[in-house]
Structure 1
């Protein structure tokens, strides 16, 4: 786990030293040229990240309880585990890198909302992509995958639109979220294999 955290810290430092200009230039194009009519919508998208991410495993687990379906409950636990991992890694990276918000470094950036934490990576994007990835793995149907990733992508875009994250923050958040999902899947698979070699796959 800590190897992953330090890897992202290294990548962050590398990206800052080599791509800071393109990073802020892209953010300016998104933020300063935004259509302000969409601000309420973008705020709604960005504010949906945590409620949707937390509510998804809770609702799925409740359905599993009602239907007495252990497979559904396992899926819910998997989604919740991935969410917790993505939050932990995101907060750890924030405390390590301590990157200021773009509007704090570049006064011309118009921040529509205020944030109190550090910038790298985008935790909103992280939890959104964790949820989208785990949902897609648990329910591999196009009508689950497409809406999930469209929503997660919109959350990431909204963070730049609102002026509170650099593009590299959002990219790192997407990697952390998706990576957390795959990490938890592999971990669960390994644990289940250890418990009983004849046990079926995670949600079969």
Structure 2
């Protein structure tokens, strides 16, 4: 046994095993530290944004947050109606692309919400976060932000003009900020929602190539 433990092969394998364990420990410890840091950053940043006060700020964020679902649904519906009235085939295709981008972001977001089931910040930190609206669904990711960025990105893809890109980006970012100011989402919820929304719009470019063939035959 002593001869085996002193053999070069055993020593090499033992060193490799120790190295693997060390790497795993460092990796795991890094994840724990990063998680703690991220959570602290999340709640500290939210606390600051949630504390932004003033009549204009509160009313602005309230309006932006409350009207987001109507805008996200209303824009593609209005495009489809305009296409039907004008008999504009290309505008109808654009309406389908924008509408399915928003719908895709909604489905992905709410699927993740109930899969991850993250507690709302005002429930977890009632002493640090005040909610200015009532939300019952899980926190992560932000559905309002996801559909806002899906709408903004899809509009920018179809109409890459400064007068579309600028207002669309400003509105989508305002939606995300309003959700934090209202105290209903962490910054990480909003960032994830933005990525999901923009990502759904980009992926939908390729999905709609197939969808156009199925719906319109070209």
TM-score by length of 2: 0.79
The 1:191–1:42 alpha-carbon spacing in structure 2 relative to 1, beyond 3 Å, is closer
Report how far residue 189 of structure 1 moved: 2.7
What do residues 65-90 of structure 1 show as CA deviations (whole Å, max 9, x unaligned)? 11111000000000111111000000
Cross-structure match for 1:138: 158
**Is residue 53 of structure 2 the alignment partner of residue 53 of structure 1?**
no
Which 4+ stretches in 1 moved above 2 angstroms? Answer: 13-18, 189-195
SS in 2 for 1:165: coil
Conserved? CA contact 2:156–2:164, under 8 Å: yes
Distance 2:34 2:176 in 1: 18
1:188 aligns with 2:208: yes
Pairing 1:10-29 to 2, within 5 Å after superposition: 16=35, 19-29=38-48
Number of aligned positions between the proteins: 185
Distance 1:53 1:16, change over 3 A: farther
**Structure 2 gap ranges (5+):** 1-31
Aligned equivalents of 2:154 and 2:111: distance in 1? 21
Matches within 5 A, 1:46-85: 46-85=65-104
The aligned residue for residue 41 of structure 1 is 60
In the alignment, what sits opposite 1:116? 136
User: CA RMSD for the aligned pairs?
Assistant: 2.3
Give the gaps of 5 or more residues in structure 1: 1-12, 200-204
Aligned equivalents of 1:135, 1:145: Cα separation in 2: 8
Larger radius of gyration: 2
